[in-house]
Structure 1
Amino acid sequence: MDTEAQHTERDPSSDTDSSGTEEGSRSARVSDDSGDSGREERMEPVEPAEPVEPAAAEERHPAPSWRRTALVGGACVAFLLLLSHFVIQPFLIPSGSMEPTLQVGDRILVNKLAYRFGSEPARGDVVVFDGTGSFVREQPQGNPVTGLLHDGAAALGLAEPDETDFVKRVVGTGGDRVVCCDKDGRLTVNGVPVEETYVMLGDRPSSVPFDIVVPQDRLWVMGDHRSQSSDSRDHLGNPGGGMVPVDKVIGRADWIAWPFGRWSTVAGTDAFARVPAPPAGGHGAGAHG
């Protein structure tokens, strides 16, 4: 009985202790829960990333479109056209009139700045010029669209140049007296024979005799392949006498750009090194221009 009494007396305290422990546990749990709740409010859960569909990726990072490609291509063409108009223009050589210096199919680069800053064409220069009014007569305007497309292709060296554009070598400048030929069959300029090593092997300096004085601001031009070249000699009877106005010169042919096997500069010549300047008072009678 004492044992039961003791047990009975211990029960309330045990219950109380147990109850207190449970309340403490509950308090601890509530405190822990409150702490967890606070942390959860400060740190929101990160949702797993959804897989990106290929279509969505293309929308975020679109591939270059044909419009962008066309825009870049158009800008490049415009740049090349501007470059060819003001600085360097390619020309396709359509005939053998300048052989052996230039061959059929060569694409030359013409320096359009060579005569822009006070310099003028010199004897021996290979030049490209507009022969309108000297080598060919004025032509009526054709289809403007076709002409524009052709001019653009010619400016890029993809088509033959206009029929009014020519490439020749300068033999006489303003005031020079050019005669062919002397007793040894050589061309003379201001009375000095010229050894034309650039002329096509087997060709004579000219099969057509002439004796002319080049007017100021004009040029007397000839092809290196004399037997195959239509040049100043063939237009002696035309208005202007076959002389090319200096302001019709497009530029100086400085480089052969194509084919790659012929990539080089257009070789200069010292054939005219001994030729003196024309006399101040002009040449005597007997010459005409």
Structure 2
Amino acid sequence: MTDRHGDEFGLDPGPAPWPGQVASASTTPAPATTPVVPFGQVGRTEPIQTRARRHAVQKRRGGAGSLLRETVIILVSAIVLSLLVKTFLVQAFFIPSPSMHDTLIEHDRILVSKLTPGPFDLRRGDIVVFRDPGGWLTNEVVVDPGPVRSGINSALTFIGLYPADANKHLVKRLIGLPGDHVTCAGPGGQLTVNGVALDEPYLAAGAIPCEKPFDVTVPPKSMWVMGDNRQDSADSRFHTGDPGGGSVPISNVVGTAFVTVWPLERFGVLHNPSSTFAGVPDPS
């Protein structure tokens, strides 16, 4: 059934155009389901919200990758720097025994300058760290930390982030340089270097300079070392029967200790007691 305009009954054709008005596409609303394509995006059917989410994900992934690269670069640089410092400048060690009381005690962490010997010369009175010349540490008890911990410790020690293992190094005070004549008359006597008796303020409380007499001349390229805790130090005096007569090759020296860094209550600079050896002449 149709009305008088000939349209289907029940459907509103909308208002008739005014006389002279021409109907056009602009007067007809677009279907609600037709996506609006922005200018310049013709042919792209991906919704704007989807593209925005994809770009955000890509940006996050790119940022995470950049952060990972920066972290790796920082870690590698820190390891390389630590290795260079440990190799050429400073190395950390820990004290395992009471032989240097009261200057150093067990479990102290010390820093050792590797510029001595080298650019700087060794001096009498220096606290030196040196590699075992052979047989000095055979009686030391070393606790096995296990393969995993041992591997980690070795790696950290290699790059300088962990104190060096005590079962490979010793720490003593340098008493005699090459050519020095070092003597001690025994209990009650003073230690002498090149004929000059030493006043040793660094000795442990109650310690005496020596309990047995000895008389040595330090060989070339070697040094004579003794612990500050004389009655509890297996130093040069106890190895007079070894090659070198108890003296240690200077080539074995790792460096000189200059500061205690741990524990914090033990923090302090390790000074050379220069006044003790001020009057000692050069060997004749």
Q: Same fold (TM over 0.5)?
A: yes
Q: Deviations over 1:184-228 (max 9, x none)?
A: 511111111100010001011011210011112110000001111
- Counterpart for residue 277 of structure 1: 282
- Counterpart for residue 63 of structure 2: 61
Q: CA separation in 2, counterparts of 1:82 and 1:161?
A: 19
Shift of 1:121: 1.3
Q: 1:113-192 counterparts in 2 under 5 A?
A: 113-117=115-119, 119-133=120-134, 135=136, 150-155=153-158, 156=160, 158=162, 161-181=165-185, 185-192=189-196
Shift of 1:183: 9.0
Q: 1:1-289 counterparts in 2 under 5 A?
A: 52=53, 56=57, 58-62=60-64, 72-117=74-119, 119-133=120-134, 135=136, 150-155=153-158, 156=160, 158=162, 161-181=165-185, 185-269=189-273, 270-279=275-284
Q: CA separation in 1, counterparts of 2:90 and 2:197?
A: 34
The 8 Å contact of residues 134 and 242 in structure 1, kept in 2 or not, is answered as no
Q: Deviations over 1:152-180 (max 9, x none)?
A: 44454635525231111000111111110
Q: CA separation in 2, counterparts of 1:252 and 1:189?
A: 21
Q: Deviations over 1:94-143 (max 9, x none)?
A: 111111111111110000012212x3311000010112247469xxxxxx
Shift of 1:149: 5.4
- Counterpart for residue 9 of structure 2: none
**Any unmatched runs of 5+ in structure 1?**
1-20, 30-42, 138-144, 280-289
Superposed CA RMSD:
4.0
- Identical-pair percentage: 36
The 8 Å contact of residues 133 and 239 in structure 1, kept in 2 or not, is answered as no
Over 3 Å counting, the alpha-carbon distance change for 1:246 and 1:265 in structure 2 is: same
The 8 Å contact of residues 187 and 193 in structure 1, kept in 2 or not, is answered as yes
Alignment: residue pair count: 242
The 8 Å contact of residues 92 and 157 in structure 1, kept in 2 or not, is answered as no
Over 3 Å counting, the alpha-carbon distance change for 1:121 and 1:147 in structure 2 is: farther
Over 3 Å counting, the alpha-carbon distance change for 1:104 and 1:183 in structure 2 is: closer
Shift of 1:68: 6.8
**Any unmatched runs of 5+ in structure 2?**
1-18, 25-38, 42-46, 139-147
In proportion to residue count, which structure has more helix? Answer: 1
The 8 Å contact of residues 175 and 226 in structure 2, kept in 1 or not, is answered as yes
Matched AA of 1:101: T
Shift of 1:265: 1.0
